[in-house]
Amino acid sequence: MKTNIPKCIGIIMDGNRRWAREKGLSTVAGHEAGYKKLQEVVNWAHELGVKNLIFYAFSSENWNRSPKEVSYIMNLVENALGDYFEKLKEKNIRIRFAGDKKRLPEKLCLKMEEVEKKTSENNDGTVVACISYGGRQEIVSAVNKVIENKNAEITEEAIGSNLDTYGIPDPDIIIRPGGERRLSNFLTWQSIYSEFFFIPTYWPDFSREEFEKIIKEYSERERRFGQ
Ligand code: FPP
């Protein structure tokens, strides 16, 4: 494969429920399949040398879904904390979370913080899971943190350094499977120069072939950053 490997890819994992419905399966089976796909994509990215991945797992708006669905997704996250993320830890991958932790169950939050801490020295890549995340809310929260210091000036640097993704490169690519062509409050600040790839495939069916094709197409696109 050509060399211009993206430093960071953001992924909106969309289409889980439609995938399940078309197969006559339950909604939660769709999310289970989505979670498996996340794990595969982390492996592919690692093998191809993409160091940073940001997954949109649960948006601020997703709180409006049924209590059953919300609690199933939270359970997936909780299981991942005790099992899958432990595996990533051994692969020297750092785990981070973005989103409004205050809305999450306290026990889950504590576990998330523990995993973030335990993996903070890992340096062979970062996986960010956006949970209870909204891009606008992230910016508002960053601005509030800046103005807590009365003498602070509001600058791009000051806001950027108070975002949940601080230290992670802005996404070179944002992939949205599932057929919709919008960002839906994902990485509002960070996406200004991202290359977008909207594909019809539902997330659980996303293939390695499609992933490699996106990276190849990206490496051939000319990015001018406004110049
Ligand atoms: C969007 O598809 C997907 C979600 C709202 C949930 C995705 C969450 C996971 C895959 C779990 C991730 C787990 C960890 C550990 C980070 P949709 O339900 O909106 O599908 P639809 O567009 O077909 O309705």
- List % helix, strand, coil for the chain (3-state, nearest 5): 50, 15, 35
CA of 69 to the centre of ligand 1 (A): 10
The residue whose CA has the least distance to atom 8 of ligand 1 is: 57
Taking residue 56's Cβ as centre, other Cβ atoms within 10 Å add up to 26
With a pLDDT cut of 70, the percent of the chain lying above it is: 99
Q: What is the mean pLDDT of residues 136-156?
A: 94
Q: What is the mean pLDDT of residues 24-41?
A: 97
Predicted confidence at residue 1, as pLDDT, reads 46
Q: What's this model's pTM, rounded to 2 decimal places?
A: 0.96
Q: Is 222 exposed, middle or buried (0-12, 13-18, 19+ CB in 10 A)?
A: exposed
**pLDDT higher than threshold 80 for residue 47:** yes
In this prediction, residue 94 has a pLDDT band, given cuts at 50, 70 and 90, of very high
Which residues, other chains included, contact 105 with Cβ-Cβ below 8 Å and sequence gap of 6+?
Answer: 74
CA of 12 to the centre of ligand 1 (A): 9
Residues having CB closer than 6 A to ligand 1 are 13-18, 31, 34-35, 38, 55, 57-58, 62, 73, 76-77, 80, 129, 178
CA of 14 to the centre of ligand 1 (A): 6
Which residue shows structure tokens 């796909």? 37
**pLDDT per position as a tens digit, 70-80:** 999 999 999 99
> Per the structure block, which two tokens stand in for 217?
């197409």
**Minimum-distance ligand 1 atom for the alpha carbon of 180:** 22
Q: Which helix (H) or strand (E) is 118 found in, with range? A: helix 106-118
Q: Choose which residue among 12, 53, 58, 201 to substitute to test ligand 1 binding: the one with the highest number of ligand atoms within 8 A of its C-beta.
A: 58
In this prediction, residue 3 has a pLDDT band, given cuts at 50, 70 and 90, of low
Mean pLDDT of the chain, nearest integer? 95
In the chain, the largest separation of any two C-alpha atoms, in whole Å, equals 58
Predicted confidence at residue 226, as pLDDT, reads 77
Residue 126: what residue type?
Answer: T
Taking residue 202's Cβ as centre, other Cβ atoms within 10 Å add up to 25
The residue whose CA has the least distance to atom 22 of ligand 1 is: 15
Q: Which helix (H) or strand (E) is 176 found in, with range? A: strand 173-176
> Per the structure block, which two tokens stand in for 8?
């960071």
CA of 18 to the centre of ligand 1 (A): 11
Residues serving a catalytic function are: 14, 62
Q: What is the mean pLDDT of residues 132-157?
A: 95
In this prediction, residue 152 has a pLDDT band, given cuts at 50, 70 and 90, of confident
The 3-state DSSP class for residue 57 equals strand
